[in-house]
Copies of this chain bind each other. A is one copy, B any other.
Amino acid sequence: MSLMRRIGLRLPIFQAPMAGSQDQALASAITRAGGLGALPAAMLSVEALDRALAELKGDGPLNVNFFCHRPPEAQAERLSAWHRLLAPFHEELGIAPPPPSDDPGRRPFDAEACDLVERHRPKVVSFHFGLPEPALLGRVKDSGALVVSTATTVDEARWLEAHGADAIIAQGIEAGGHRGHFLSDDLGLQLGTLALVPQIVDSVTVPVIAAGGIGEPRGVAAALALGAEAVQVGTAFLCCPEATTRAVHRRALLEAEAPTALTNLFSGRPARGIVNRLMRELGPMNDRVPDFPLAPAGLCELRAAGEANHSGDFSPLWSGQNRRGCREVPAAEQLAWLAEGLH
Chain B residues lying within 8 Å of A153, measured Cβ to Cβ, are 259
Residues 232-248 of chain A, each 1 if its beta carbon lies under 8 Å from chain B, else 0 = 00000000000000000
**Cβ of A230 under 8 Å from chain B:** no
Inter-chain contact A212/B194, CB cutoff 8 Å = yes
Q: Beta-carbon contacts of A74-89 to B below 8 Å, as 1s and 0s?
A: 0000000000000000
Q: Which residues of B contact A251 (CB under 8 A)?
A: none
Asked if A62 is an interface residue, CB under 8 A from chain B, the answer is no
How many Å lie between the Cα of A226 and that of B225 in the bound state? 10
A21 at the interface (CB under 8 A from B): no
Apart from A188-B262, A189-B259: 12 A-B pairs, beta carbons within 8 A:
A172-B194, A188-B261, A189-B261, A192-B193, A193-B195, A194-B212, A194-B219, A195-B215, A195-B320, A198-B219, A219-B226, A221-B226
Contact-residue size bin, chain A (C-beta under 8 Å from the other chain): 35 or more
Whether a CB of chain B sits under 8 angstroms from the CB of A216 is: yes
21 contacts between A and B (CB under 8 A): A153-B259, A172-B192, A173-B173, A174-B192, A174-B195, A188-B284, A189-B259, A193-B193, A193-B194, A194-B194, A194-B219, A194-B322, A195-B215, A196-B321, A198-B216, A198-B322, A199-B322, A199-B324, A218-B227, A219-B226, A222-B226
Contact A202 B324 (CB under 8 A): yes
Complex Cα spacing A153 to B257, Å: 11
Q: Let me know if A136 is at the binding interface, CB within 8 A.
A: no
Q: How far is the CB of A160 from chain B (nearest CB, A)?
A: 17
Give bound CA distance, A188 to B275, whole Å.
11
Which of chain B's residues have a CB closer than 8 A to the CB of A52? none
Closest to A325 in B: B198
Decide yes or no whether A191 CB sits under 8 A from chain B: yes
User: Cβ of A218: which chain B residues have Cβ within 8 Å of it?
Assistant: 198, 225-227
Report B-chain residues with C-beta under 8 Å of the C-beta of A198.
216, 218-219, 322, 324
Question: Of all chain B residues, which has the CB nearest A261?
Answer: B188
A172 and chain B: residue at smallest CB distance: B192
Q: Is A295 an interface residue (CB 8 A)?
A: no
How distant is the Cα of A199 from the Cα of B153 in the complex, in angstroms?
Answer: 25
Question: Given B192, B199, B227, which contacts A194 in the complex, CB threshold below 8 Å?
Answer: B192
* Complex contacts, A259 vs chain B, CB 8 Å: 153, 188-189
Nearest-CB residue, chain B, relative to A227: B218
A68 at the interface (CB under 8 A from B): no
| Complex Cα gap A225–B324 (Å) | 17
CB of A153 to closest CB in B, whole Å: 8
> CB-CB < 8 A to A193: which residues of B?
192-195
